Structure 1
Amino acid sequence: MFPIGDDNSARRGTPVVTFALIAINVAVFLIELQRGDAFVTKWAFIPARFSNDPGADVSTLITAMFMHGGWMHLGGNMLYLWIFGDNVEDRFGSVRFLLFYLVAGLAATFAQFAVNPESAIPNVGASGAIAGVLGAYLLMFPKARVNVLLGRQVVAMPAFIVLGLWVALQLVSGVGSIADTAQTEQGGVAYMAHVGGFIAGLFLAVAMGGLRKSNDIA
């Protein structure tokens, strides 16, 4: 079940922050390709390095959010941001949405850090912040129609089903990934960052006044 779009008929303005975030992520990834592993090592969030000297490595809490491990990683994240970010930004307003996005991303990073603070694996990606966007979208627009690709058909489904299944996958995968990461120290999907970002998105949607009903998508 692959989301490809949603109903934007109730959107009031242009989601400039969403577009800017997508552009920055793409630009940073192109720089990664040009500069190679040294660039990734310098600007990725590495839990063990942060544990040893948090002050010296604090900037990577932000820079890692705009880096990706490959074209599929980038493409998947930007697709989800494109589909769901514009509506959340429309509800919050651009400035609050940017703050929301960064805080959700930080919460996601620390959720993954809490699982294995001594890991030497570089953590990169916007997945945690975008998981926060999904959490907020679920609370704000639970009945919004999301177009998903099922085989060769496009089917419109309620957001609470699409995102509910996504959450279930993260929780099931995350339970196994804790032990796997601790035992093998190999790279992979940071499921706990997804879970942490999603929970942060739920909390922030309420705390930042995102549940006003005046602009719901039908």
Structure 2
Amino acid sequence: MDASPDLPRQGRVPVFNMPGVVTVSIGLLLAIHAVREILLPDAWDIRLVLDLALVPSRWTTWFDPAQADAVLRAASEAGDAQFAAAREGFARYVLSEPGAYPWSFATYGLLHGSWMHVIFNSVWLAAFGSPVARRCGAWRFGLIALAGTVAGGALHVAIDPLSSSPLIGASAGVSALMAAAARFVFQPPAAGYGTQAWQLPPHRPAETVPELLRNRTAVTFLVIWLATNLLFGLITLPLGAENAAVAWDAHLGGFVVSFLMFPFVDPQARPPR
């Protein structure tokens, strides 16, 4: 006699085995880039980037208009001297439209510089966003990604306040989801579970910082992540129309904020004592 439980017949395995909110998020990023690449005239696309991208100097001069001259000097001195005039001209154009554009601290995460850029972010979003969405649900997933995006943009502005280069990309939000996932995905399996396919592991709270530091897999991941981002800050990658340095500071801001806030939004957090 077969003593195994009478489980319901499983349906077909979905092609994209991801939570709906992750699938929708990736679809939105790809759709926005497709519209920009295929449908929008160049003039409209430039206008879209100017309105939605995060430009540090715009925020800096909104707080302190006296910084305008410093912004122009920074634009003419940074990078290759061959393009100094073009960078200075763009900085003048940005400064000619004063305003804080506060929404840009979130909307810059919707834009990308190339197909490689958006696909790269989508792959990491699928890998690390999926466990977070399964554990936390759609709205907490969105809150973590949004908080990381805003924090990453804020740190980028704080570190490079005179820059007139537009910051775009979902990397800060993806880094926030990586940090959230790191708090629980590297936990060792619960004792006594996993020997049978029908057994579900118990819900466990996220690891505390001391527990993470004792978890060799988690520590290895954190060290590799930090080293990779510092390395990317020193090299250039073809993420847009021209090679550009990866905004490692935005990644770091998103990661740190999410790493610290996750226990407060985790639905499986430890009950208060």
- When normalised by structure 2's length, the TM-score is 0.59
Q: Give the C-alpha shift of residue 131 in structure 1.
A: 0.4
Within 5 A, what are the aligned runs for 1:46-65? Answer: 46-53=55-62, 56-65=100-109
In the aligned structure 2, how far is the partner of 1:66 from the partner of 1:191? 18
Letter in 1 for 2:110: F
CA contact (8 A) 2:156 2:250 kept: yes
Within 5 A, what are the aligned runs for 1:1-218? Answer: 15-33=19-37, 34-35=39-40, 36=42, 37-53=46-62, 56-143=100-187, 161-174=220-233, 176=234, 187-209=244-266, 212=269
Q: Which runs of 5+ in 2 are unaligned?
A: 1-16, 64-98, 190-216, 236-242
Letter in 1 for 2:30: V
Q: Give the C-alpha shift of residue 166 in structure 1.
A: 2.0
More helix by share: 1
Q: Give the C-alpha shift of residue 98 in structure 1.
A: 0.8
Alpha carbons of 1:160 and 1:141: their partners in 2 closer, same or farther (altered >3 Å)?
A: farther
Percent identity among equivalent residues?
A: 27
CA contact (8 A) 1:102 1:129 kept: yes
Aligned length: 181
Structure with higher Rg: it is: 2
Q: Give the C-alpha shift of residue 118 in structure 1.
A: 1.4
Letter in 1 for 2:153: T
Letter in 2 for 1:28: I
In the aligned structure 1, how far is the partner of 2:159 from the partner of 2:120? 24
> Could you report, residue by residue, the CA deviation over 1:108-149 in whole angstroms, capped at 9, with x for unpaired residues?
11111111111100000000010011111111112489xxxx
Letter in 2 for 1:110: A
In the aligned structure 2, how far is the partner of 1:110 from the partner of 1:118? 13
Q: Which runs of 5+ in 1 are unaligned?
A: 1-12, 146-157, 178-185, 214-218
CA contact (8 A) 1:139 1:211 kept: no
Secondary structure of the residue aligned to 1:135 is helix
In the aligned structure 1, how far is the partner of 2:137 from the partner of 2:25? 15
Q: Give the C-alpha shift of residue 31 in structure 1.
A: 2.5
CA contact (8 A) 1:107 1:197 kept: yes
- When normalised by structure 1's length, the TM-score is 0.73
> Could you report, residue by residue, the CA deviation over 1:169-215 in whole angstroms, capped at 9, with x for unpaired residues?
213544x58xxxxxxxx9421011111111112012122136649xx
> Could you report, residue by residue, the CA deviation over 1:150-174 in whole angstroms, capped at 9, with x for unpaired residues?
xxxxxxxx56534541222213544
Q: Give the C-alpha shift of residue 26 in structure 1.
A: 1.0
> Could you report, residue by residue, the CA deviation over 1:77-107 in whole angstroms, capped at 9, with x for unpaired residues?
0000011101101111111111111011101
Letter in 1 for 2:132: V
Indicate the RMSD between aligned Cα atoms, in angstroms. Answer: 2.7
In the aligned structure 1, how far is the partner of 2:247 from the partner of 2:174? 13
Alpha carbons of 1:144 and 1:30: their partners in 2 closer, same or farther (altered >3 Å)?
A: farther
